[in-house]
Structure 1
Amino acid sequence: MKVIICGAGQVGWQIARQLAGEKNDVTIVDTNADLIRRATEVLDVQGVVGFASHPDILEKAGARDADMVIAATYSDEVNMVTCQIAASAFNVTRRIARIRAQNYLETGYSDLYNTDRLAIDVIISPELEVAEAALQRLAAPETFDTEVFMSGRAHLLGIRLGPECPVLNTPLRQLNDLFPSLRAIVVGVRRNEKLFAPHPEDQLLEDDQIYLFVHTEDMSRSLGIFGKREHKQDRIVIVGGGNVGLTVARALEARSDRVRVRMIEKNRQIAEAAADQLSRTIVLNGDGMDMDLLAEAGVDRADAVLVVTDDDKTNLLVSVRAKQAGCPLTIALVNDPTMAPLMAALDLDAWINPRATTVSSILRHIRHGRVRAVYSLGDGEAEMIEAQVMSTSPISGKMIRDIAFPEGVLVGGVMKGDRMLKPEPDTRIEPGDLVAVFALVKDVPEVERLFQVSIDFF
C-alpha cells in the first residue's frame, strides 16, 4: 500500500515506522528539513520537504497513485485542507486527519466531514483519546495501562508486579491449573526493558510489568490474584484545565456515584472557562507545583490525582509532590516515551502517552477490513489486535494448537457470539469469531496474513 504521512512529529514518525516496517511504500511530508532528513536516514521511507496542503507538494509525494493520506501536522486547518486537496485533486480514496480543536468536533458540525464537503473519512482527536485513556486508568487504579476490547467484554491490563504478588516465581502453565475458571491470559511481559510474549514455562518475577488480557467480569478477581486491590474513588484532583482535564471532569460529573472533583489550573482565563462549563467541580486558579495549593485541593485526602498539563516535567514533578503528600494513586500525562523508565524510580503509578493513544486510533483505521481494534504497546514494540475471522481466513476451522502463530504472538481471548472464552489449545476458531492476539511488531504482518486483513481498502 502507498501511504503519504503529513507531519514528521512523534505521531507521524511512529506511524511511518510501523507501516514502513510492514513493507508499505511510505512518504513523509514536513516543512522541517531536519525531521525529514532524520526520517529518511533511520526509516525505510521517502521524504518531501514542504507544506502538505500545497498541491504541488502532495503531487511530489506521489498523491496521484497513493492509497491513503494521513494528515497529522500540528495545524488542524492544514490537516483538513490536505485531506480536501488529496480527494479533489488526486482522488486519494482514504483520508485521515488529526484534529485537536474541540470546536471542530461539536455534534452540530459533524455533517461537515463527508465527501461533498470536507473530504475526511476519519477524524482522530488526541485530546478525546487521551481523556478516554485517563478515565480508563481511573477505572482500574491498580494498573499502569488499560484498554477495552470485545465491545467492552474484555480488557487489556498492564500490571506491575510487586513483592505482595502471591504468584511470583510461579510458571504460567501452573497458573492455569491453580485457577482453571479464570478467563485471563498473560500475553506480554516486560523485563529489563524488553517486552516479550511469554512461554507456558516462564515464571513471573518481582518488578515484571505484565499485560493481562482478561474477561471484564473477572477483572476484580484477576487483580487480586496478582496482589492488587480495587479502590473506590470518591475524591479526585485534576491538575490541568485544558481540553483533556475538562473532558475528564465532565465525564466524572456525569457519573451516578457523585465523585468529588477538584481542578487546579495555572492560567486564569482557562480556569474561568473551565469553571463556567462545570457544575460540581471546584476549580482553583494557581500553580500545581505549589504545595499549599495542593493542600487546599486536598491531595492528602484524594483517592487519585490526574496531572494533565502541557508540560511533561511539570506533570512528573506534580505527581511526585502529590505522592509525597499522601495520595495513593498518581497518573501523569507524559508525551516523551523516553521518560517512561522514570516512573518506577519516582514511585509513580501510571502514565498516559498521547502518542500511543493517537497511534492506536490511527492504526485501527489503517488495518481496514476485518480488524476491529488495535492498541499499540510501549514505544510501538507490540500491538494488541482484535480481528474477526472470515470463512476464507487461513485460521478458520482450525484449533489454536494447529495454527502456525509466530513465536511473538499469543491469543488473549476468543469471542463466539456473545460468549467470551479463554483460549485453550483445543479451542476451534470458526468464521465470525472475534479473536484478540498480542503480537510483537515484527510479527504483525504475519498476523494480518492469518486473518487475511492485509492493509488494503475495498
Structure 2
Amino acid sequence: MRVLIGGEDELAVSLAEVLMQDHDVTVLAPSSMRGSSLDRLDVEVRWGSCSSSTALQSANVDQAEFFIACTPADERNLVAAAAAKRLGAKQAICFLRRHEVQANEREAERLALSLGIDQVILPAERLAREILRIVMVPGALDVVAFEGGRVRLVRKEIPEGSHLTTGTLREIGVPQGVVLVTCRRDEELFIPKGDTRFRPGDQVTAMGDQKGINKFMTRFLGDRQRRDLRRATVVGGGVVGLTVAKGLESAGWTVKVVESNERRANEIAQQLKSMVLHGDGTDLELLAEEHIGEDPVLIAVTSRDEVNLLVSLLAKQEGVPRIITRADRMTNERLFEKVGIDVVRSAQGAAIHSVLRKISRSRDEPIAELEHGDLKVLRLPVREDFPPTPLAQMRAPVFAIVGAVSRGGNVLIPQGDTVIEAGDTLLTICTAEDEEEARNFFSNFSGASAD
C-alpha cells in the first residue's frame, strides 16, 4: 500500500518508521528537515510543503491510498488533507495536535466531513482515553478494547498471594469467557499452557468478554475497586490532564489537579468540581502539604517528558502505589519503564495506533500493537472452504494464540473444544517476528491435526 505522509517533525518520522515495515512510504517534508533522522529511514523523501498543491502533485499524491497530514499546525493539516483528497488521494487523515481549530473530536469530525477528509485524529484526546481505560481497571498495565468493546484485553502483574500462584493453570482453571494469551516473566515472553505455574511478579495478559474479564480480575487478581481507593492526583492541566480529570470525575473519583501555570489553573478550575492547585508537581513541600503521597494513583501528564519523569519518581519515593506517566517521545516509553514507572503512554504512540487501526480496516493489517510493538493483534478471516475443526487441533508452530472468534456478528471466547468454522474471523495474538508465519498457518491450515 502506498502511503504519503506530510509532516515536519518527530511525529512524521515515527509514523514513517512504523508504516515502512509493511508499506511503500513517501514523506513530504520541508527542506529544514534535511539531515534529520529521516535520512536513516527506508522511505522516499520529497521536499516541500504538504499544504502546497504543487508539492503534493510532485509527490504523486494521486497514487496514494492514504495521505496523512501531521504537521504541528492544525490549519495546515486541514488544508493539506483537503487538497490531497481533491487531487486524488483515496483516503486522507488529518491530525489536529494543538486544538487550534476544534475543542473535541466530535466537532473536529464534523469539520473534516465538510472538507471531504476521511478521519481526524486528536492525539491528546486519544492519549487521555487510553489513560482512562487503564486507570479504571485497578492495577492494569494495559487495557485494549476490540470488536466494539465486546472483547477486552487486560495486562496486569500477579500480586503476592494471588490464587493464580497456587497450582498449575490446568488445576486452577479460569472463568468461562477468558483466555490467558501471554505471560511475561522478566525478559521471557510465553503463551501459558496447562502445566504453567505462575509466580508473583509475572505479567499476565487476559483476553475475554466483559463478564469473564471482571470475574478473572476479582477472583484471581484480588481486584475489587473499593470506593475509598478511587482517588487520584493529576499533574498537568493541559488538554490531556483536563480530559482525564473530567473522565475520573464522571466515574465518581475524587481528583486533585496540579497545574504550574496560574492562568491555566484558574481556567480549568471553572470546568471541574475537583480541587485544582496552582503549583509545581516536583515541589516536595507541595506534595507533602496536599498529602499527594496518600493517593492510590498519580497521573503525570504535563507536556514535558523530563517533568513527568521527575514527578513520577518523586511520587514513587513518597509511596504512591500506582503511577501512570506521559512520555511524548515514544523512545522514552521503554526508558521510563526501566527506571520503575508502572505505566507509560505517549500521545504520539496513541495517534500512531489510531492510524494503524484505520489502515487495518481497509486491509489485512494488525489491528493493535502491544508491549511497544513486540506483540501484534491480528484479525484473520477463515476461508470459505475451511472444514469445521476444533481449535485444539490448530496449534500454530510459532508464538500465536487465538483469543476471540467473531462469527455472524457475535463474539465467542474460545476453549480447546471450540469448533472453528468457515467464515469465522480469528482475533489472534502473535509476536512481531512471527506475524508472517502465523498468517500463513491460519490461512493455509487444512483441517488435519497440527501435531
TM-score range, shorter chain: 0.7 to 0.9
Relative to structure 1, the CA distance from residue 245 to residue 439 in structure 2 (aligned partners, 3 Å threshold; closer, same or farther) is: same
Aligned counterpart for 1:289 among listed residues 269, 273, 282: 282
1:286-365 correspondence runs (5 A): 286-343=279-336, 346-365=339-358
Verify the 8 A CA contact 2:175 2:216 in the aligned structure 1. no
CA distance in 2, matches of 1:425, 1:216: 20
Q: Which string of whole-angstrom CA distances, capped at 9 and with x for unpartnered residues, describes residues 300-336 of structure 1?
A: 3322111110111211221222233332221111223
Relative to structure 1, the CA distance from residue 28 to residue 267 in structure 2 (aligned partners, 3 Å threshold; closer, same or farther) is: same
The aligned counterpart of 2:96 is: 99
The aligned counterpart of 1:367 is: 360
Question: Which shifted more, 416-425 or 154-163?
Answer: 416-425
CA distance in 1, matches of 2:332, 2:267: 31
How many aligned residue pairs are there?
439
Q: Which amino acid aligns with 1:379?
A: H
Q: Which amino acid aligns with 2:314?
A: R
Q: Which amino acid aligns with 1:132?
A: R
CA distance in 1, matches of 2:174, 2:162: 19
Per-residue deviation, 1:283 = 0.8
What TM-score, normalized to structure 2?
Answer: 0.84
Q: Which amino acid aligns with 1:45?
A: V
Verify the 8 A CA contact 1:386 1:437 in the aligned structure 2. yes
The aligned counterpart of 1:78 is: 76
Question: Which shifted more, 442-451 or 350-359?
Answer: 442-451
Verify the 8 A CA contact 1:312 1:335 in the aligned structure 2. yes
Relative to structure 1, the CA distance from residue 361 to residue 444 in structure 2 (aligned partners, 3 Å threshold; closer, same or farther) is: farther
Q: Which amino acid aligns with 1:353?
A: S
Q: Which amino acid aligns with 1:290?
A: D
Per-residue deviation, 1:435 = 3.1
Relative to structure 1, the CA distance from residue 349 to residue 109 in structure 2 (aligned partners, 3 Å threshold; closer, same or farther) is: closer
The aligned counterpart of 2:143 is: 146
The aligned counterpart of 2:448 is: none
Relative to structure 1, the CA distance from residue 403 to residue 220 in structure 2 (aligned partners, 3 Å threshold; closer, same or farther) is: closer
Aligned counterpart for 1:376 among listed residues 366, 369, 372: 369
Relative to structure 1, the CA distance from residue 6 to residue 207 in structure 2 (aligned partners, 3 Å threshold; closer, same or farther) is: farther
Per-residue deviation, 1:229 = 3.2
Per-residue deviation, 1:58 = 1.9
1:47-66 correspondence runs (5 A): 47-66=45-64
Q: Which amino acid aligns with 2:374?
A: E
The aligned counterpart of 2:179 is: 185
Per-residue deviation, 1:7 = 2.4
Per-residue deviation, 1:55 = 2.2
Q: Which string of whole-angstrom CA distances, capped at 9 and with x for unpartnered residues, describes residues 218-258 of structure 1?
A: 33443356645343333221111000111112222223x3x
**What is the CA RMSD across the aligned residues, in angstroms?**
3.3
Aligned counterpart for 1:119 among listed residues 108, 116, 120: 116
Relative to structure 1, the CA distance from residue 379 to residue 34 in structure 2 (aligned partners, 3 Å threshold; closer, same or farther) is: farther
Aligned counterpart for 1:260 among listed residues 222, 244, 254: 254
Per-residue deviation, 1:196 = 5.8
CA distance in 1, matches of 2:309, 2:190: 27
Verify the 8 A CA contact 1:265 1:287 in the aligned structure 2. yes
Relative to structure 1, the CA distance from residue 56 to residue 380 in structure 2 (aligned partners, 3 Å threshold; closer, same or farther) is: farther
3-state SS in 1 of match to 2:367: strand
Per-residue deviation, 1:375 = 2.3
Per-residue deviation, 1:18 = 3.6
Verify the 8 A CA contact 2:143 2:154 in the aligned structure 1. yes
Q: Which string of whole-angstrom CA distances, capped at 9 and with x for unpartnered residues, describes residues 8-43 of structure 1?
A: 645433443343222x221122226657764453x4
Q: Which amino acid aligns with 2:141?
A: F
Q: Which amino acid aligns with 2:208?
A: V
Verify the 8 A CA contact 1:167 1:225 in the aligned structure 2. no
What TM-score, normalized to structure 1?
Answer: 0.83
CA distance in 2, matches of 1:109, 1:223: 37
Q: Which amino acid aligns with 1:267?
A: N
Q: Which amino acid aligns with 1:441?
A: A
3-state SS in 1 of match to 2:349: helix
Structure 2 unmatched runs, 5+:
444-451
Verify the 8 A CA contact 2:333 2:345 in the aligned structure 1. no
Q: Which string of whole-angstrom CA distances, capped at 9 and with x for unpartnered residues, describes residues 175-222 of structure 1?
A: 145315443333234455565656666665554434322332233443
Verify the 8 A CA contact 1:76 1:99 in the aligned structure 2. yes
Per-residue deviation, 1:77 = 1.8
Taking CA–CA contacts closer than 8 Å with sequence separation of 6 or more, which of the two structures ends up with the larger relative contact order? 1
Relative to structure 1, the CA distance from residue 341 to residue 109 in structure 2 (aligned partners, 3 Å threshold; closer, same or farther) is: closer
CA distance in 2, matches of 1:204, 1:306: 29
Per-residue deviation, 1:340 = 3.8
Q: Which amino acid aligns with 1:152?
A: G
The aligned counterpart of 2:5 is: 5
Verify the 8 A CA contact 1:220 1:230 in the aligned structure 2. no
Question: Which shifted more, 316-325 or 333-342?
Answer: 333-342
Aligned counterpart for 2:430 among listed residues 425, 439, 442: 439
CA distance in 2, matches of 1:408, 1:18: 21
Relative to structure 1, the CA distance from residue 196 to residue 340 in structure 2 (aligned partners, 3 Å threshold; closer, same or farther) is: farther
Relative to structure 1, the CA distance from residue 345 to residue 371 in structure 2 (aligned partners, 3 Å threshold; closer, same or farther) is: closer
CA distance in 2, matches of 1:38, 1:326: 39
The aligned counterpart of 2:446 is: none
3-state SS in 2 of match to 1:104: coil
Relative to structure 1, the CA distance from residue 56 to residue 164 in structure 2 (aligned partners, 3 Å threshold; closer, same or farther) is: farther
Verify the 8 A CA contact 1:18 1:380 in the aligned structure 2. no
Verify the 8 A CA contact 1:241 1:271 in the aligned structure 2. yes
CA distance in 1, matches of 2:337, 2:159: 11
Per-residue deviation, 1:81 = 1.4
Structure 1 unmatched runs, 5+:
453-458
Aligned counterpart for 1:273 among listed residues 237, 249, 267: 267
The aligned counterpart of 1:456 is: none
